[in-house]
């Protein structure tokens, strides 16, 4: 069945409230403007682009049609124009993807994504990365990617990076990355337009091979995700939370599935899909107990 083209879709139509709050907090951090300036001065955007085109496979309709066709369809569904370049990079032992490039966006997936994902699951993966581009998230994401390098090459007298972690900027950045995934997963579901596909894509992202995907494992994974929303982690101290969230590259698949299911259960996904004009659809958020005053240090 042909997927619905979401004409005029805007990020605000599906943005997760945790993402909104985390991004607002990040933008208030005093060191962020200087950090973004330094990233521009060092030409990180151009360096990343050169690294990709110099070492990865550019996807075309002829060499990797499965990837090309899924990416083209995702861009059409989510109305991303012009279409970014797509690259395939070497296997890493787990599914991985990225979106980089503020001026000229590039999307990449690895060999495992191509081999392990079905065409519909690729729509989910590409939708997640396209959401970063549509939402203007790339600049923040690239800061996180090069943060370790910047901390080594820029002196503390230049930018005050010696106190970066204690000032909260680094924690706020990695916290936002986790929260932004909730928004990107919503866009990914809008791309594949099937919650079952979204769940199996997240299960594979968490490392489960296709051979173990069956009705029982899928049902148990959904039950685990629903139970996760009831876990109270307030007893954990701040250092534990900081350390866990600093591992921002982990997929956090159960937590992400929990938030995606809440959005679907609340009817917001279906409301957006049924709207004749997504650009004019009434924006709603999930009414969870802690969403209004959610804070990284006090609640999950």
pLDDT in tens, 81-128: 999 999 999 999 999 999 999 989 999 999 999 999 999 999 999 999
Domain-located, residue 38: yes
The number of folded domains in the chain is 1
Residue 131 has pLDDT above 90, yes or no: yes
Q: Would you say 283 and 13 are in contact if contact means Cβ atoms under 8 Å apart?
A: yes
Q: Is position 288 within any domain?
A: no
**pLDDT > 90? residue 234:** no
**pLDDT over 50 at 248, yes or no:** yes
CB 73 within 8 A of CB 123: yes
Mean pLDDT of 150-160: 57
242-249, long-range: CB < 8 A, 24+ apart: 242/171, 245/171, 245/174, 245/175, 245/178, 245/296, 246/170, 246/171, 246/174, 248/144, 248/174, 248/177, 248/178
How is residue 100 written in tokens? Answer: 């980089």
Under 8 Å CB-to-CB from 60, ≥6 apart: which residues?
68
Output the average pLDDT for the chain.
Answer: 85
Residue 145 forms part of a structural domain? yes
- Residue 115 is predicted with a pLDDT of 97
The predicted structure's pLDDT at residue 42:
78
Please check whether residue 211 lies inside any domain of the structure.
yes
| Under 8 Å between Cβ of 80 and 129 | no
Helix axes 238-246, 169-192, angle to 10 degrees: 50
Place of tokens 């899928």: 218
Q: What is the C-alpha to C-alpha distance for residues 66 and 59, in angstroms, rounded to an integer?
A: 10
Verify cis geometry, omega within 30 degrees of 0, for the bond prior to 293: no
For residue 229, what pLDDT band results from cuts at 50, 70 and 90?
A: confident
pLDDT band, residue 245 (cuts 50/70/90):
low
* Residue 88 near residue 64, CB atoms below 8 Å: yes
Confidence of residue 153 (pLDDT cuts 50, 70, 90): low
For 37-56, what is the mean pLDDT?
Answer: 88
Rounded to whole angstroms, the Cα distance separating 226 from 206 reads: 16
Q: What is the pTM of this model?
A: 0.88
Q: Residue 251's pLDDT band (boundaries 50, 70, 90)?
A: confident
Q: Which residue has the higher pLDDT, 191 or 172?
A: 191
**Domain hosting residue 207, numbered range:** 17-276
Please return the burial class of 90, using the count of CB atoms within 10 Å of its CB with bins 0-12, 13-18 and 19+: exposed
The whole-number average pLDDT for the span 133-142 is 93
- Residue 97 lies inside a defined structural domain of this protein: yes
Residue range 240-260: mean pLDDT, rounded: 78
Is 173 part of a structural domain of the chain?
yes
For residue 280, pLDDT beyond 90: no
Q: Give yes or no for residue 14 having a pLDDT over 70.
A: yes
Cα separation of 28 and 172, whole Å? 10
Q: What percent of the chain clears pLDDT 70, i.e. is strictly above it? A: 80
Q: Is the pLDDT of residue 288 over 50?
A: no
In this prediction, residues 266-276 reach a mean pLDDT of 93
| Nearest partner of 146 among 44, 248, 244, judged by Cα | 44
Choice among 1-10, 115-124, 163-172 with the minimum mean pLDDT: 163-172
pLDDT band at 152 (very low <50, low <70, confident <90, very high): low
Does residue 170 belong to any structural domain of this protein? yes
* Among 111, 95, 1, 134, residue whose Cα is nearest residue 57: 111
Determine contact, residues 193/4, Cβ cutoff 8 Å. yes
Mean pLDDT of 181-189: 97
* Partner residues linked to 108 by β-bridges: 87, 98
């Amino acid at each position: 069945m042909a997927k619905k083209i979401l004409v005029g879709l805007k990020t605000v139509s599906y943005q997760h409230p945790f993402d909104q709050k985390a991004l607002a907090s990040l933008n208030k951090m005093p060191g962020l403007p200087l950090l973004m300036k330094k990233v521009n001065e060092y030409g990180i955007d151009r360096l990343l682009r050169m690294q990709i085109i110099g070492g990865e496979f550019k996807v075309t309709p002829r060499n990797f049609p499965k990837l090309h066709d899924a990416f083209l369809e995702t861009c059409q569904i989510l109305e991303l124009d012009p279409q970014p370049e797509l690259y395939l990079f070497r296997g890493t032992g787990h599914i991985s993807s990225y979106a980089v490039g503020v001026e000229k966006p590039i999307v990449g997936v690895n060999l495992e994504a191509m081999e392990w994902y079905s065409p519909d699951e690729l729509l989910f993966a590409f939708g997640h990365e396209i959401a970063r581009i549509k939402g203007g998230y790339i600049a923040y994401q690239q800061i996180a990617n090069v943060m370790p390098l910047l901390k080594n090459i820029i002196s503390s007298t230049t930018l005050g990076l010696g106190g970066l972690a204690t000032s909260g900027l680094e924690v706020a950045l990695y916290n936002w990355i986790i929260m932004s995934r909730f928004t990107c997963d919503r866009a990914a579901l809008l791309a594949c337009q099937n919650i079952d596909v979204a769940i199996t894509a997240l299960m594979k992202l968490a490392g489960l091979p296709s051979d173990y995907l069956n009705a029982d494992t899928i049902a148990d994974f959904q039950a685990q995700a629903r139970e996760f929303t009831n876990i109270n982690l307030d007893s954990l101290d701040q250092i534990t939370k900081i350390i866990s969230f600093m591992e921002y590259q982990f997929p956090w698949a159960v937590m992400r599935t929990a938030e995606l299911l809440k959005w679907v259960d609340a009817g917001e996904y279906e409301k957006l899909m049924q709207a004749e004009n997504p650009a004019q659809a009434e924006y709603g958020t999930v009414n969870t107990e802690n969403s209004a005053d959610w804070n990284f240090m006090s609640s999950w």
